[in-house]
Amino acid sequence: MSFFLETLAGGLLAGVMYALVAIGFVLVYKASGVFNFAQGAMVLCAALTFVTLRERGIDLWLSGLITLAILVALAVAVERVVLRPLANRPQITLFMATLGLSYVIEGTSQLLMGASVHELDLGIPDTPIELGPIQLSQFDLAAAATAGALVIALSLFFDRTRIGLSLRAVADDPGAALSIGIRLQTLWAVVWAVAGFVALVAGLLWGARQGVQFSLTFVVLKALPVLIIGGFTSIAGAVVGGLIVGASDSLAEIYLGPLLGGSVSTWFAYVLAVAFLLARPAGLFGERAIERV
Amino acid sequence: MTRSHDFLAVDSIEASYGQAGPVLRGVSLTVAEGSIVALLGSNGAGKSTTLRAISNLLGPQRGALRGGSIRWRGESTAALDPADLVHRGIVQVLEGRHVFGQLTVEENLRTGGFLRRPSRRQLADDLERVYGWFPRLRDRRSAKAGLTSGGEQQMVAIGRALMTRPTLVLLDEPSMGLAPIIVGEIFEIIRRLNREEGMSFLLAEQSANLVLAYADRAYVLESGRVVEAGLAADLATSGRLGEIYLGGAATATRH
What pTM, to 2 d.p., does this model score? 0.85
Query: Is pLDDT at A287 greater than 80 in this prediction?
Result: no
Q: B162 pLDDT band (50/70/90 cuts)?
A: very high
Per-residue pLDDT at A225: 92
Query: Is pLDDT at A12 greater than 60 in this prediction?
Result: yes
- CA dist., res. B61 & res. B181, Å (int): 32
Q: A290 pLDDT band (50/70/90 cuts)?
A: low
Q: A114 pLDDT band (50/70/90 cuts)?
A: confident
Per-residue pLDDT at B19: 85
SS3 B71: strand
Query: Is pLDDT at B255 greater than 60 in this prediction?
Result: no
- CA dist., res. B155 & res. B178, Å (int): 11
The partner residue sitting opposite A180, judged by closest CB among B101, B112, B146, is: B112
- The residue among A24, A34, A21 whose CA lies nearest residue A82 is A34
Q: Is B122 on the interface with A (CB under 8 A)?
A: no
Q: Which residue(s) pair with B67 in the sheet?
A: B14
Per-residue pLDDT at A43: 92
Question: Does the residue A251 lie in any domain?
Answer: no
Per-residue pLDDT at B254: 40
Query: Is pLDDT at A65 greater than 80 in this prediction?
Result: yes
- CA dist., res. B68 & res. B52, Å (int): 14
The whole-number average pLDDT for the span A23-44 is: 88
Question: Does the residue A111 lie in any domain?
Answer: yes
Question: Does the residue A255 lie in any domain?
Answer: no
Per-residue pLDDT at A242: 93
**Residue A280 Rama label (left phi>0; alpha psi -120 to 50; beta):** beta
Taking an 8 Å cut-off on Cβ atoms, the answer to whether A287 and B102 are in contact is yes
Distances (CA, A) of B138 to A198, A285, B163, B184, B233: 38, 29, 15, 20, 35
DSSP B245: I
Inter-residue contact A177 to A167 (CB < 8 Å): no
- CA dist., res. A70 & res. A197, Å (int): 10
- CA dist., res. A115 & res. B34, Å (int): 67
Per-residue pLDDT at A84: 84
Residue A18, Cα to own-chain centre: how many angstroms?
Answer: 7
Total domains in chain A come to 1
DSSP B246: I
SS3 B109: helix
Q: B194 pLDDT band (50/70/90 cuts)?
A: very high
Residues from chain B contacting residue A164 (CB–CB below 8 Å) = none
The whole-number average pLDDT for the span A75-97 is: 86
pLDDT one-digit tens code per residue, A199-208 = 999 999 988 8
Q: A127 pLDDT band (50/70/90 cuts)?
A: confident
- Phi, psi at B144, each rounded to 5°: -65, 130
Query: Is pLDDT at A126 greater than 90 in this prediction?
Result: no
Question: Does the residue A123 lie in any domain?
Answer: yes
Q: Is B211 on the interface with A (CB under 8 A)?
A: no
Q: Which domain holds residue A59?
A: 2-214
Ordered by where they begin, the domains of chain B are 35-63+81-254 (3.40.50.300)
Q: A247 pLDDT band (50/70/90 cuts)?
A: very high
Least confident of A110-119, B75-84, B130-139: A110-119
Residue A182, Cα to own-chain centre: how many angstroms?
Answer: 27
Question: Does the residue A229 lie in any domain?
Answer: no
Per-residue pLDDT at B153: 96
- CA dist., res. A281 & res. A286, Å (int): 9
Inter-residue contact B172 to B201 (CB < 8 Å): no
Question: Does the residue A238 lie in any domain?
Answer: no
Residues from chain B contacting residue A166 (CB–CB below 8 Å) = 111, 114
- CA dist., res. A214 & res. A106, Å (int): 8
Q: Is B147 on the interface with A (CB under 8 A)?
A: yes
Question: Does the residue A273 lie in any domain?
Answer: no
Taking an 8 Å cut-off on Cβ atoms, the answer to whether A172 and B103 are in contact is yes
SS3 B220: strand
* Whole-complex ipTM: 0.89
Q: Across all residues in chain B, what is the average pLDDT?
A: 90
Question: Does the residue A16 lie in any domain?
Answer: yes
pLDDT one-digit tens code per residue, A143-186 = 889 988 998 999 899 888 999 999 999 988 889 999 999 998 88
Residue type, A56: R
Taking an 8 Å cut-off on Cβ atoms, the answer to whether A179 and B164 are in contact is no
How big is chain B by its Cα radius of gyration, in Å? 18
DSSP A186: H
Query: Is pLDDT at B132 greater than 80 in this prediction?
Result: yes
Residue type, A228: I
Residues from chain A contacting residue B81 (CB–CB below 8 Å) = 183
Residue B8: its H or E element: strand B8-17
- CA dist., res. B90 & res. B171, Å (int): 11
**Residue B26 Rama label (left phi>0; alpha psi -120 to 50; beta):** left
Q: Give A34 to chain B, closest Cα distance, Å.
A: 16
Angle between the N-to-C axes of helices A184-210 and A162-172, in degrees from 0 to 180, rounded to the nearest 10: 100
Q: B252 pLDDT band (50/70/90 cuts)?
A: very low
